[in-house]
Chains A and B, each alone.
Chain A
Amino acid sequence: MGSEAGKDKKMEHRKFETIRDARKRQNGTDPLGANSEIARKLKQYYDDIVSEKIPDRFTSLLSQLEEREGPSSTTEKD
């Protein structure tokens, strides 16, 4: 019977740990919780936009800027 009581105590201890861990996650080091539902959706939302093809306007803008050559010429740096 002694082992039964020990088991209960162990369970209780584990439950306590879980609550404490959850609280720690919310207040302390990791407020987002990397594996939470919110974190997953957030990633999905963001990566959806990231994976879009880069609009042509940006590649041509960068080419234009390069042709224009910056105000402080990049060759000056060396």
Chain B
Amino acid sequence: MAAANGFREGLLEAVPTLRAFAVSLSKNADRADDLVQETLVKAWDKQASFQPGTNLKAWLFTILRNEFYSQMRKRKREVEDVDGSMTARLSVHPSQDGSSDLADFRKALALLPEDQREAIILIGASGFSYEEAAEICGCAVGTIKSRVSRARARLQEILAIEGEGDFGPDAISTQVTNSAALA
């Protein structure tokens, strides 16, 4: 019973960071919370396969990530978002609207390809090491490094363009989308 309590507490503790990762991946707050819910259920069912003392957070991130990509494969035919215009609109998290610096950053982040976005989030925000991130994504450490590097360069490029003037949110997203199309 004590072990079960510890596991439950561990899951609960991880919820805030799982939500942040899920929002970053799915770019949609409702979908993100569904992803977290699915992750918790899966983790609960698989708890016998979790080795106590190992990194619970990394284990949960792996489950969430797998869930995200398997859902995405299923949805791929339903929603085609080739140019990222939909992405820019979906990217606003309800508690984070407004035309701040942060809103611009969120839009820029949403324009990155999934693999680059998840790499820069895992390393720069979730606090994982390159080795842990590589394990979560099932790829080589060098791959994570180059993705983070490309993500950073791309964000700098997009944000430098945005920083030129004080536009409304729509003007900015149009500008971002256009510049992305041109790039």
Interface residues of chain A, those whose CB is within 8 Å of chain B, are 26-27, 31-33, 36-39, 41-52, 54-55, 57-59, 61-62, 65-66, 70-72, 74-75, 77-78
Contacts and interface: CB of A to CB of B under 8 A. Distances in A.
Interface of B: 1, 3-4, 7-8, 11-12, 15-17, 19-20, 23-24, 33, 36-37, 40-41, 44-45, 47-48, 93, 95-96, 101-102, 105-106, 109, 120-121, 123-126, 145-146, 148-149, 152, 155-156, 159
Contacts of B16: 49-52, 54
Given A45-B109, A65-B44, A58 B152 contact: no
A59 B4 CA distance: 15
Given A33-B152, A66-B4, A58 B40 contact: yes
Interface residues of B: mostly helix, strand, loop or mixed? Answer: helix
Contacts of A44: 102, 105
